[in-house]
Structure 1
């Protein structure tokens, strides 16, 4: 009886090995697909400044100032322009000044602006107004290559930023000093 079991076991092993198609490598099953709740999403999380809310408006103004600081350091105004409306006069003046300095071989050196405080946000039609105190770091700039270096001491100033929500993003519409 024991002989029959051994032959059956040997026959089972031969049949199992013949199903491998002659490939001596062991075959492993692929990992099962993750459950739908485990599938990673390809959509990145939104930044705070990409939300249509008062907090989103404040975060957007901080983002705009970051882009302004970067533009002054590099001369690249593309992101600053894309975050501003075409009729933002102050924005356009900043862009023109930065582009003219860098086109003439000049440069700007500063640690930039930073929001020190934000006041209450009144709604005025489509615009959200962000009253704020901005700390401006000292700045040195050359208007053109080899020009005398100009210095601004920096300090704190009151400003208001008027931002609008477009189809899916905030834009800087107006930036003013508060007297």
Structure 2
């Protein structure tokens, strides 16, 4: 029994019957300012774009704004591709930003900013390898290095940990 998920002819579960493909987030005009103000808005845009890519499998824009140096960014792109290529999907992934600290300019690298974001993941469902994997709501602390490159921003590094944990066990870093 699949509940609200239709069973497809190939035996896999389809997306929920009420699923509507989200619109790709648009880069806010504030994120085109090549300063700390712009870096803050670009970081927020990046998280929204990441959630969109996870929910749709469309990583085209995510690839453009993720530096090849960012190992975590590249692993997200690869994982999203693998899930969708294998007939999987994700439903309901999003980030609710609860706080963004003031971006910190790098003292020695012009155009590089450190942005710390406190965000909440809503519960979501991932379907892969013919299994449903529900994810619970959680708090995350996400630290991004936002780099000005050719008059636009890219994410140079991505670090995330569980916002409620006192240890470092929930880390992802590049």
- Equivalent position SS for 1:158: strand
> Is 2:134 the partner of 1:151?
yes
Partner of 1:118: 100
SS in 1 for 2:58: coil
Unaligned 5+ runs, structure 2: 1-27, 162-167, 169-174
Could you list the per-position Cα deviations for residues 96-117 of structure 1 after superposition, in whole angstroms to 9, with x for gaps in the alignment? Answer: 1110000000000114113210
Match of 2:81 in 1: 99
- 2:152 paired residue among 165, 169, 173: 169
Kept in 2: contact 1:65–1:114 (CA 8 A):
no
Please name the residue that 1:131 is paired with: 116
TM-score where L is the length of structure 2: 0.71
What is the distance in 1 between the residues matched to 2:151 and 2:38?
12
Checking the alignment, whether the CA contact within 8 Å between 2:99 and 2:117 is kept in structure 1 is yes
Separation in 2, partners of 1:156, 1:52? 29
Q: Tell me, what secondary structure is at the counterpart of 1:66?
A: helix
- Please list every run of 5 or more consecutive structure 1 residues that lacks an aligned counterpart in the other structure: 1-45
Spell out, residue by residue over 1:120-140, the C-alpha distance to the aligned partner (whole angstroms, 9 max, x if none): 322222420001101111121
CA RMSD of aligned residues (A): 1.5
Q: Helix, strand or coil for the counterpart of 2:68? A: coil
The DSSP-based 3-state class of the residue aligned with 2:74 is: helix
CA distance in 2 between partners of 1:166 and 1:69 (Å): 23
Q: Any residues of structure 2 matched to 1:3-14 within 5 Å, and which? A: none
4+ residue stretches of structure 1 with deviation over 3 A? none
Following the alignment from structure 2 to structure 1, what is the Cα–Cα distance between the partners of residues 137 and 55? 16
Query: Is the aligned partner of 1:142 residue 2:127?
Result: yes
User: For 1:149, what is the secondary structure of its paired residue?
Assistant: strand
**2:119·2:140 contact (CA, 8 Å) conserved in 1?**
yes
Match of 2:65 in 1: 83
CA distance in 1, matches of 2:139, 2:59: 24
Q: What residue in structure 2 maps to residue 4 of structure 1?
A: none
